[in-house]
Amino acid sequence: MLNMHQLILLRHAKAAAATAGGSDHDRPLTGSGNAAAGNIGRAMHQAGLAPDVVLVSPSQRTEQTFAALEAAGVWAEWPNVESLPALYMASPHQMRDILRDLPETVRSAMIIGHNPGLHELARKLAGTGQGPEYARLAEGYPTATLTEFLITTPWRQLGAKAASLQRFLAAKDLV
């Protein structure tokens, strides 16, 4: 039997600039960032993208991005949401290892995190595929950008040869 999973990676929406003496961890979304996250949430809802498990970095901007998705009505049923300190500025290998620990009963998982690790993970998973989504992914991973992958192996075997890029969606596409 072929294992099929969905993985969604979402970079947090635009956050306020760091302030003197302020913590990077505590940077909130800007007004435009909140609007962009809401737009991504509505696009997710329209596309039927409603992951069972959402893994969120504990920064203010990632938590506010999740809240904007929720307000946009992404989930008909509340997902299993876990705030993971290890996701704050995680490397692609750290995120991959977190995903590899997911139980096989998880059909669809989402990470809401940060660059550069999120972009690097998306590029590694996408591999050397061809097409406009791959070209856009190679160019960058702006704030409020979502990638969707079809994973064709058990989570514990997650890697480039097991992932197929299905969607690249940036908030600027929705304006």
- Looking at residue 30, what DSSP letter applies? P
Between CA 135 and CA 143 the distance in angstroms is: 17
What is the percentage of the chain residues whose pLDDT exceeds 90? Answer: 83
Query: Tell me, what's the pLDDT at 2?
Result: 61
69 has pLDDT over 90: yes
- Report the DSSP pairing between strands 163-170 and 5-11: unpaired
76 has pLDDT over 90: no
Counting beta carbons within 10 angstroms of the beta carbon of residue 122, is it exposed (0 to 12), middle (13 to 18) or buried (19 or more)? buried
Phi and psi angles of residue 90, each rounded to the nearest 5 degrees, phi first: -70, 150
In the β-sheet with 145-151, what is the strand arrangement from edge to edge?
80-83, 53-56, 108-113, 5-11, 145-151, 163-170
**14-60 pLDDT, tens per residue?**
999 988 888 889 999 999 999 999 999 999 999 999 999 999 999 99
What is the dihedral angle through the alpha carbons of 37, 41, 44, 49, rounded to the nearest 10 degrees? 110
**Domains of the chain, with CATH numbers?**
5-14+27-174 (3.40.50.1240)
**Token match 């999740």: residue?**
66
Number of Cα atoms under 13 Å in the Cβ half of residue 152: 9
Please check whether residue 59 is in contact with residue 112, taking contact to mean a CB–CB distance below 8 angstroms.
Answer: no
Phi and psi angles of residue 105, each rounded to the nearest 5 degrees, phi first: -70, -15
- Mean local confidence (pLDDT), 90-94: 97
Between CA 175 and CA 170 the distance in angstroms is: 10
**108-167 pLDDT, tens per residue?**
999 999 999 999 999 999 988 888 999 999 999 999 999 999 999 999 999 888 899 999
b/e for 66-79, b at 16 or more Cβ within 10 A? bbbbbebebbeeeb
Quickly state the pLDDT bin for 93 (edges 50, 70, 90).
Answer: very high
Query: Tell me, what's the pLDDT at 21?
Result: 80
* Predicted TM-score (pTM) of this structure: 0.96
Query: Tell me, what's the pLDDT at 43?
Result: 96
